[in-house]
Structure 1
Amino acid sequence: MQLIDWQDCRGAFYVDGSLRDIYIQDTTAADWDVFLDAISSKIITTFVDGEPHPLPKQASEIFERNGDTSFLLEVTLGQLKMNCHFFTEEEIELDIDPSEVTSQAELDAIIEVLSLLGSALGRDVILTDENMPTSIWIVFDAIKADVHFVAD
């Protein structure tokens, strides 16, 4: 897998009060179950309405009650945290605070997660500006099993 140099892409993590999003699009309930299984290999904490809660075995348990409760999955990668709010079954989305991405170590952790999820799901995974899935910074290409920076 090709490594991305922090100096080449540090501009993707400019701090302006917005987040960066990681998307896996056109997902199904089965994809969410693969996501939960894959991400459970990381340090995660899950919350329901702000209170710690065990990770459900299936994503359907989360989506069945998501209208009534708030479910958050937090992935801890050193000083960096990624959050998944389970907005919709059709799209897996995690967000990152760019102020937490300050070196090659955090970039490598992000790339590791993109690669983990893309490989587990056999899908492309993109890192974008907040709420802008067409403003792509980094891509895990599932066909090539490779990650690359999309220079502007």
Structure 2
Amino acid sequence: MDWQYLKDNIYFSDGSLRDIYVLNISRLDWLKWIDFINENFEVRFTYCDIVGDLKSSNQIISKYIFDYWDNVSEFVVTATIMIGEIILNCYFFTEVEIENDITPKEIKSLDDHNQIIDYLKSVSKILNKEVILTAENYDLDYDRLITVVNDQVLIK
């Protein structure tokens, strides 16, 4: 893969993020993803405990995510995941899709790109689902930059 092509067409700097999506998932899928993240990456998980105190952990804790989705807690939970030197964020907006975001300016080399591709492939294999990278807030049916299914990678 040509780094200049990737820089110009995938990781172009226009001030927006790149979104990573896995659609139509279940809580069981979330648990598989959480286990994968906790076992393989440096994590900073931020949540509120039962009395509303802000806490952080070096592991994603599913209970606080599920409590948020079930309206047991009104506090949003977030995770920052390090893929090498690349920051991947997860805000747990909805239980039916995984949405991560990355800042394209952090992808500075073909090695960085390959780390992202390895992450996308791993998630696809673990969940047996398609993983999509797109520019922020774009139509997933028409504006895909990268689509991964297991080891198959399609780049725009």
Residue of structure 2 equivalent to 1:137: 145
Confirm or deny: 8 A CA contact 2:41 2:81 kept in the other structure.
yes
Task: Look up the match of 2:91.
Answer: 85
- Report the TM-score, using the length of structure 1 for normalisation: 0.84
Residue 35 (structure 1) aligned with residue 17 (structure 2): no
Distance 1:104 1:66, change over 3 A: farther
Give the partner amino acid of 1:75. I
Where 1:16 maps in the other structure, the secondary structure is coil
Letter in 1 for 2:15: G
Contact 1:56 1:62 in 2 (8 A): no
Which residue is 2:3 aligned to?
6
Question: 1:119-134 to 2 correspondence within 5 Å?
Answer: 119-132=125-138, 133-134=140-141
Under a length normalisation based on structure 2, what TM-score does the superposition of the two structures give?
0.82
Question: Is residue 56 of structure 2 the alignment partner of residue 52 of structure 1?
Answer: yes
Deviation per CA, 1:95-129, whole angstroms, max 9, x where unpaired?
00111111112101110110110000000101001
Unmatched 5+ stretches in structure 1: none
* Contact preservation (8 Å) 1:46, 1:55: yes
Amino acid at match of 1:9: L
Counterpart Cα distance in 2 of 1:8 and 1:51: 42
Aligned length: 145
Structure 1 pair 71/7, CA: closer, same or farther in 2 (3 Å)? same
For residue 13 of structure 1, give the secondary structure of its aligned residue in structure 2: coil
- Moved >2 Å (runs of 4+): 4-8, 57-67
> Which protein has the larger Cα radius of gyration, Structure 1 or Structure 2?
2
Query: Considering only aligned residues, what root-mean-square deviation do their CA atoms show, in Å?
Result: 2.0
Judge which range, 40-49 or 87-96, deviates more: 40-49
**AA partner of residue 25 (structure 2):** T
Correspondent of 1:148 among 134, 148, 154: 154
* Residues 68 and 76, structure 2, Cα contact 8 Å, conserved in 1: no
Q: CA–CA distance in 2 between the matches of 1:125 and 1:66? A: 30
Give yes or no for contact 1:13–1:99 (8 Å, CA) kept in 2. yes
Percent identity between matched residues is 29
